[in-house]
Amino acid sequence: MPAPDLAPFHLAFPVDDIEAAETFYTSVIGCTVGRRSERWIDFNFFGHQVVAHLSDSSKNESVSLVDGDDVPVRHFGLVLDKANWSEIRTRIEKSKTDWLIAPKIRFQGQPGEQGTFFVRDPAGNALEFKYFEDLAQLFAP
């Protein structure tokens, strides 16, 4: 179970187009913008600070098999409540963003059962959004 006073995390990630990143993270995901420069932009990612940095470096395309899906090894995301998860799912559907892994229930009937989906931002970064019916199962063995 997460700590009641969970500290915000900070994550920096590469993008190849700052404007496309801003449009995706604000219009599709619903983030707000903090500080910015010509080469980076801060987003309020549900209370966490994520920063898109302009980069021309190559992407890591490694995958790991998780409950029958090829999950991108390099990804980030959030554990939300079911209502917020459903809201973001609807925003993504309306934006016509392609699913990397379509919404599904993973580990059904097992410890850690969760709703999950994956999308890619315009730069190809993989994001996962999930919820647990029982958040106490977040770290279930």
CATH number at residue 70: 3.10.180.10
pTM for the model stands at 0.88
Asked whether residue 3 is domain-assigned, the answer is no
Residue 4 lies in a domain: no
Q: What is the mean pLDDT of the chain?
A: 91
What is the band of 140 on the pLDDT scale with cuts at 50, 70, 90? confident
76-125 pLDDT, tens digit per residue, is 999 999 999 999 999 999 999 999 999 999 999 988 899 999 999 999 99
Domain-embedded: residue 69: yes
Confirm whether 106 is domain-assigned.
yes
Spatial separation of the C-alpha atoms in residues 69 and 23, rounded to whole Å: 28
Confidence class of residue 3 from pLDDT cuts 50, 70 and 90? low
